[in-house]
Amino acid sequence: MLNNLSDNQKRTLALAAMALLALACLCGTLAFTVDMVPANNVLSFGSVKVRVCEYTLNVQGEEIPFDPNEHGDYPDTKAGGSDISRIVRVENVGAQPEYVRARLRMTSVAPDGSSADASDNVAFHVNAGEGSPWIDGGDGWYYYRGLTGRGGVLDPDAMTESLMDSLRFVGDYHDAARGGSFRLDIDVQAVQAKNQQTSDTALDVLDVVGWPEAN
């Protein structure tokens, strides 16, 4: 049958086949929409958008936006062994429900700009115990499960409960600072909830697939 077609018709069929193949690949790629977001930024990939919201308590005990010191989050001179207020939440600023997870890391930054991991010199006070809205996944990430029995689905314009409310420097943190300062790094990943459900039952966040590999 193909032998009876003109060269133009054959080229048209070939282009159509290539277009269908490209569409199939695209649909496979978009099955799960994923992104990683650094703190204090809103990044988007498709319809997934998240914002890390950081607050602290002032001397009156009122919650205010966290404003890092110009020399770093915590200059060596301000790091201490007592609890320091630092409240971390995640907001869905996209158009689709999503699942989120977050990772906390402390980094020391020397005066010459070099950095090193200092997570062993800080204790994060996280809300990830039994009955808490966050759960420790045992893989370095905290997963948002929520308190509404929906497995952690975060609706558009909704904000999670606090992941962390304070931190404390421990051990030889002055040596770890190397005369510089400490910076809290917050990594967040989000996965679109669409296509995760196979029934009317809400999927638990620990059963979600599609999380990207992370360094």
- Specify the pLDDT at position 110: 92
Confidence of residue 11 (pLDDT cuts 50, 70, 90): very low
For residue 7, which phi and psi values (nearest 5 degrees)?
-60, -40
CA 34 to CA 43: how far, in whole Å?
11
Q: Are strands 122-126 and 84-92 parallel, antiparallel or unpaired?
A: unpaired
Quickly count: other Cβ atoms within 10 Å of residue 148's Cβ. 11
Q: Assess whether pLDDT exceeds 60 at residue 16.
A: no
Mean pLDDT of 171-180: 89
CA 133 to CA 50: how far, in whole Å?
18
**Dihedral angle computed from the Cα positions of residues 10, 11, 13 and 16, in that order, rounded to the nearest 10 degrees:** 180
Mean pLDDT of 7-36: 39
- Provide the token pair at 112: 């010459």
Quickly count: other Cβ atoms within 10 Å of residue 46's Cβ. 14
